[in-house]
Amino acid sequence: MLLAKTLKSSTFRLALIAIGAFGLIVSAIFAYVYWSTLSYARDRADRAITVERASLHDAYVRSGRDGLAALIAQRIADKGFADHVYLLAGPGSAVLAGNLSQWPEGTAQRGWVEFRAPPPPSLAAGTTLVRAVTETLPNGDRLLVGRDIGDLDGFMAQIRAAGIAVVLLIIVLAAVASIGVTRRTVGRIESINATSRAIMLSGLDQRIPLHGSHDEWDRVAENLNLMLDRIQTLMGDVKQVGENIAHDLRTPLTRMRGRLEKAYHAPRNGEGDAALIGNTIADLDAVLGMFASITRISEIETRARKDAFRTVNLVEIAGEVVELYDAAAEEVTTHLELAGDAAVLVTGDRDLLFDAIANLVDNAIKHGRPGGRVTVTCDNDEGDAVIAVADDGPGIPPGQHDRVFKRFYRLEQSRYTPGNGLGLSLVAAVASLHGARIELRDNGPGLLCRLCFAAAET
């Protein structure tokens, strides 16, 4: 099964293409080496043959046929010329001198020739290939001067055999390696596919196994596992949000139903009916406000509001928020104040920043200590534009810092205070849209929440 998938995979086809290209390159290199070596060896042989031919021709000019025949006989007897081939033949091809028994068949009357000849006793044993030059002398005799190149022939045959063997060996090794690599690749892909099928069948608790090799496939598996972890977390958040919505809607909807049922069975009373209608409208407004907050957070998280980004002063926005919540703070005898630098510039959406700061101030007033203090501070801190909201209430346990930014999440001590658990979720969405970071710190006592933005370029 795996072998069939290996042979059908695109990786294997690419490997075959690479093997073919590599084989062609190696073959071309060996062909170049072969022909270069052969050409060099033949050139050397041709130069030696040309020199010897000129020497014999001089002897013919000086002493005629007899002098040439005597020189040929002398050369044949000399062991230093054992690899030379000579043949002087009359007009009728009768052998006059030389170490060949007859004129080679099929050779031209003049020019370079190569032929195979039986090994005469005067030639080295095993000689089969001869390269020679022929000419016709003025008296009609024919002269052949050549050299035994059997060694060169054998050498080139060995080069050819070695080249073919190397090319075949490379192709075999490359094929085996490509099949092995492709098989491993297909195996890792199948592992990912198997995990994907298991996830589709049983849920997000499956993970792609790692081989511990820390190669690119392990890195891909790690990233996919991290993605699955993130998806599982998001699915859990969605489930939790659904449960929280159901929980938070149950109370106002139950109250509304109870009031309407009571009014349905009770006699009509104008003043009582007006109060019932007013309370029902207030509960409906709370429900609609909850859905409006969810929609607003989703809109911010999809980054659909960057068109309104401008350079704004956080101090001015914070001043407006403090002025807006001053009356609410006085109702619970909380002292609300603004401190810090006179100008803290950031690039962002003024309305969204106002909402984020307002939610932080509102939370500080609601969950802070009655009769306590809430301080809003704007500072330029080492290239960051920082706005901080501090209270002196019970604060948030360190283990809950990451959870309070989830939708509908509320601390146990906040269950009975007005709200829906969406305020800090909106703050987190606005911070993410603006590339800001949120820091929650212990104010000793109370909570210090800092929003740190990149300062606007001036």
Reported as a single tens digit per residue, the pLDDT across 381-408 is 777 888 888 888 887 777 666 676 665 5
Answer yes or no: is pLDDT of 409 > 60.
Answer: no
Mean pLDDT of 333-361: 85
Mean pLDDT of 244-266: 68
* pTM for this predicted structure: 0.45
Amino acid at 286: A
Q: Which backbone phi and psi does 311 adopt, to 5 degrees?
A: -80, 120
Strand partners, 98: 87
Instruction: pLDDT band for 307, please (50, 70, 90 cuts).
Output: low
Answer yes or no: is pLDDT of 304 > 60.
Answer: no
67 contacts 137 by C-beta, under 8 angstroms: no
Q: What is the pLDDT of residue 237?
A: 67
Whole-number Å distance between alpha carbons of 134 and 111: 5
Q: What is the pLDDT of residue 412?
A: 45
Q: What is the pLDDT of residue 123?
A: 47
Answer yes or no: is pLDDT of 250 > 60.
Answer: yes
Q: What is the pLDDT of residue 11?
A: 67
218 contact partners, CB below 8 Å, separation of at least 6: 210, 211, 212
Instruction: For residue range 18-52, list pLDDT tens digits in order.
Output: 777 777 887 788 788 878 887 887 888 888 888 98
Answer yes or no: is pLDDT of 413 > 50.
Answer: no
Q: What is the mean pLDDT of the chain?
A: 77
- The residue that leads in pLDDT, 102 or 417, is 102
Q: What is the pLDDT of residue 380?
A: 86
Closest by Cα among 360, 368, 351, 352 to 413: 368
Q: What is the pLDDT of residue 302?
A: 59
Instruction: For residue range 120-167, list pLDDT tens digits in order.
Output: 554 445 546 788 988 888 888 889 998 887 777 777 778 788 878 887
Least confident of 59-68, 85-94, 238-247: 238-247
One-letter-per-residue 3-state SS of the chain: CHHHHHHHCHHHHHHHHHHHHHHHHHHHHHHHHHHHHHHHHHHHHHHHHHHHHHHHHHHHHHHHHHHHHHHHHHHHHCHHHCCEEEEEECCCCCEEEECCCCCCCCCCCCEEEEEECCCCCCCCCCCCEEEEEEEECCCCCEEEEEEECHHHHHHHHHHHHHHHHHHHHHHHHHHHHHHHHHHHHHHHHHHHHHHHHHHHHHCCCCCCCCCCCCCHHHHHHHHHHHHHHHHHHHHHHHHHHHHHHHHHHHHHHHHHHHHHHHHHHCCCCHHHHHHHHHHHHHHHHHHHHHHHHHHHHHHHHCCCCHHHCEEEEHHHHHHHHHHHHHHHHHHCCCEEEEEECCCCEEEECHHHHHHHHHHHHHHHHHHCCCCCEEEEEEEEECCEEEEEEEECCCCCCHHHCCHHHCCCCCCHHHCCCCCCCCHHHHHHHHHHHCCCEEEEEECCCCEEEEEEEEECCC
Answer yes or no: is pLDDT of 12 > 70.
Answer: no
